[in-house]
């Protein structure tokens, strides 16, 4: 018996992995985050499966479901939004399962920052302009370690993807303006990959009014990056004619890198 922690993807039921979908189809118990994972994602569960939403459960109750399934020798599909490596409560759950001798495995999913980039049609790294992506959140009711404060993250000028922060947009813009000029580009994607997806593009000066005006408070990704309006970047070396790598020999000139 195993508890499978499955990344459900950002919302579109087609954006779960084949492996994740097969497990949802085969597990006799399916426990999904009802507040964020749409019902269609777990609609592929078998007819006799016990399908439960964890929306109103606390951690003890979630563990009880796993324990009961363990006793009955039934696999559990624990289906959670996006990918389990980011703000998922995986760690606090698995450290409770280990002492109970319950096996578990993780199946990755498409994270909402990736679905947001796709919605924007945006590569988040650009040659010689930006080669780093920072995934973080603004500190609100949930504190963020002081060394990870937004201002210090912004100093890298990396692409910044902020989860769980839409309702804190005013604070985010204020803190980032201590490092960046007001015209620094920002995009907000609400419900990426859902039918109700909305995209706002603006700057640190405009985004607060845009987000508040649209009434966006949750299920939204804030992306702050110069890549959002940068067309003056160089082509990558990956497809450059003079560059050869493991799979392709250079057509002209010498090898630059590996
Ligand atoms: N593990 C998830 C993140 C869970 S935290 C993942 O990998 O995506 C919940 C936060 O994720 C939300 O506050 C929001 O910032 C973001 N989020 C989840 N689904 C989203 C979606 N469809 N579009 C935009 N942001 C989303």
Q: What is the pLDDT of residues 164-206, one digit of tens each?
A: 999 999 999 999 999 999 999 999 999 999 999 999 999 999 9
Rounded Cα–Cα distance for residues 176 and 254 (Å): 43
Pocket test for ligand 1, best of 163, 169, 211 (most atoms within 8 A of CB): 163
pLDDT confidence of residue 234 = 65
Pocket test for ligand 1, best of 219, 222, 223, 224 (most atoms within 8 A of CB): 219
pTM of the model: 0.92
Pick the CATH number of 112-229 from 3.40.50.300, 2.160.10.10, 3.40.50.720, 3.30.950.10: 3.30.950.10
In the predicted model, what is the mean pLDDT of residues 115-135? 96
The encoded tokens of residue 83 equal 């990918």
- 3 state DSSP class of 182: coil
The answer to whether the CB of 225 is under 6 A from ligand 1 is no
Residue with CA at minimum distance from ligand 1 atom 13: 164
CATH superfamily of 3-107: Tetrapyrrole methylase, N-terminal domain (3.40.1010.10)
Do 207 and 258 meet the contact criterion of CB atoms below 8 Å apart? Answer: no
Rounded Cα–Cα distance for residues 66 and 42 (Å): 18
CATH 3.40.1010.10 residue spans of the chain? 3-107
The answer to whether the CB of 114 is under 6 A from ligand 1 is no
Minimum-distance ligand 1 atom for the alpha carbon of 218 = 13
Which residues does residue 161 pair with via DSSP β-bridges, in sequence order?
Answer: 135, 223
Cα–ligand 1 centroid distance for 220 (angstroms): 7
């Amino acid at each position: 018996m195993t508890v499978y922690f499955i990344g459900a993807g950002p919302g579109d039921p087609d954006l779960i992995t084949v492996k994740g979908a097969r497990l949802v189809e085969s597990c006799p118990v399916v426990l999904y985050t009802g507040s964020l994972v749409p019902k269609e994602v777990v609609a592929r569960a078998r007819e006799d499966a016990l399908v439960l939403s964890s929306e109103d459960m606390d951690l003890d109750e979630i563990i009880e479901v796993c324990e009961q399934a363990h006793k009955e020798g039934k696999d559990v599909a624990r289906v959670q939004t996006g990918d389990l490596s980011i703000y998922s409560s995986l760690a606090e759950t698995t450290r409770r399962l280990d002492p109970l001798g319950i096996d578990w495995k993780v199946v990755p999913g498409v994270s909402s920052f990736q679905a947001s980039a796709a919605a924007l049609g945006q590569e988040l790294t650009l040659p010689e302009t930006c080669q780093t992506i920072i995934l973080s959140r603004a500190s609100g009711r949930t504190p963020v370690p002081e060394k990870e404060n937004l201002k210090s993250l912004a100093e890298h000028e990396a692409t910044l993807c902020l989860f769980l922060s839409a309702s804190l947009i005013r604070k985010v813009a204020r803190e980032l303006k201590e490092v960046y000029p007001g015209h620094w580009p920002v995009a907000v994607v609400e419900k990426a990959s859902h039918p109700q997806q909305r995209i706002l593009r603006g700057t640190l000066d405009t985004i607060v009014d845009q987000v508040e005006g649209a009434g966006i408070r949750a299920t939204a990704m804030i992306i702050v990056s110069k890549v959002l309006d940068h067309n003056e970047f160089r082509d990558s070396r990956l497809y450059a004619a003079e560059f050869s790598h493991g799979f392709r020999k250079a057509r002209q000139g010498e090898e630059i890198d590996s």
